[in-house]
Amino acid sequence: MVNLGRHNVLGILVDAVDYDAVVQRIMQAATERRGLTVGALAVHGIMCGALDPVHRFRLNAFDLVVPDGQPVRWALRLLHGVGLVERVYGPTLMARVCARAAADGVPIFLFGTTDALLGTLRQRLEARYPGLIIAGHRPSRFRRLATAERDEVITEIRESGAAITFVGLGCPRQEVWAYECRDALGMPIITVGAAFAFHAGTLTQAPPILGDYGLEWLFRLIAEPARLWRRYLVLNPLYLTLLALQLSRARRFDPADAVRPQDDLLYG
């Protein structure tokens, strides 16, 4: 297991860890029935925090923020000399946690996306990981939740018997939800973005070689240009610009320069 500490990438504290270290922490928290928030962030996720001091506070309150994208892994090396053999890719992390959960008899819950996709995802996960206990699933409402609705979701997850919750609401909504609900749930919450769609087979993953060279974004942009063009064509160049500023010390990105959230912005 590799754990080389937390390091500042544009004001976001990113954990230089490998899959084994993350899975071990998740499973230990699950068996001990205690909270643990885990976010797998690529460039978009980092930039959401870099540009928004309130969201920066949320992300830096996570127990683990792992380098989902190769450009985030490369930033750890470039800025801090921290070399990881591979990134901690959200869909792969989900797969590894499901495999351990199946082996250890630890129930999971799936929250987010549509009911149809969740049904397919559930069937595929149960077929791929014999013995996996999926205690329940709940689709997104695709809007901001009222307090009563939030409490209803939390109650459903807690009463299901689940010990791990996967959240697929999309960035940054899923990280907001995890931050706001972590204490009430009291179990590991793992935000995994498009992993639900990938594992359900409704969205095609980029070929591994593109992921290795940090070009997964290009594959996804070609697949969904209308939805993703702003994310990649605007935020990617800005990410590189801000990294250059941090590297040259022309701008200081202080993780403490963040603002505690005053209002719940829960989406579900």
Residues 167-196: tens digit of each pLDDT: 999 999 999 999 999 999 999 999 998 999
Residue with tokens 């077929």: 127
What would the pLDDT profile of 107-160 be if each residue is shown by its tens digit? 999 999 999 999 999 999 999 999 999 999 999 887 877 778 888 999 999 999
Strand, coil or helix: what is 98?
helix
Predicted local confidence at residue 203, as pLDDT = 86
pLDDT > 90 fraction of the chain, expressed in percent and rounded: 81
Quote the tokens at residue 41.
């962030």
pLDDT > 70 fraction of the chain, expressed in percent and rounded: 98
Omega before 53 within 30 of 0, i.e. cis = no
Quote the tokens at residue 145.
């939740």
Predicted local confidence at residue 213, as pLDDT = 83
CB-count exposure of residue 218 (10 Å: 0-12, 13-18, 19+): middle
The average confidence (pLDDT) of the chain is 93
Q: What does the pLDDT average to over 211-223?
A: 85
Predicted local confidence at residue 119, as pLDDT = 96
Taking the model in full, what pTM does it have? 0.95
User: Which amino acid, residue 135?
Assistant: A
The answer to whether residue 266 scores a pLDDT higher than 80 is no
Q: What does the pLDDT average to over 239-244?
A: 97
Quote the tokens at residue 62.
């996570």
Which of residues 141 and 81 earns the better pLDDT score? 81
Check if the beta carbon of residue 192 is closer than 8 Å to that of residue 168. yes
> Band of the pLDDT at 267, cuts 50, 70, 90?
low
Least confident of 9-13, 163-167, 191-195: 191-195
Strand partners, 164: 108
Predicted local confidence at residue 149, as pLDDT = 84
The answer to whether residue 4 scores a pLDDT higher than 80 is yes
> Band of the pLDDT at 264, cuts 50, 70, 90?
low
CB-count exposure of residue 96 (10 Å: 0-12, 13-18, 19+): middle
Rounded-to-integer distance, Cα 63 and Cα 36, Å: 6
Rounded-to-integer distance, Cα 118 and Cα 71, Å: 30
What would the pLDDT profile of 33-78 be if each residue is shown by its tens digit? 999 999 999 999 999 999 999 999 999 999 999 999 999 999 999 9
Delineate the domains of the chain, giving CATH numbers in brackets.
3-214+240-248 (3.40.50)
Quote the tokens at residue 248.
């040259």
> Band of the pLDDT at 227, cuts 50, 70, 90?
confident
Quote the tokens at residue 12.
């976001």
Helix residue ranges, H only, 33-85: 43-50, 53-60, 70-80
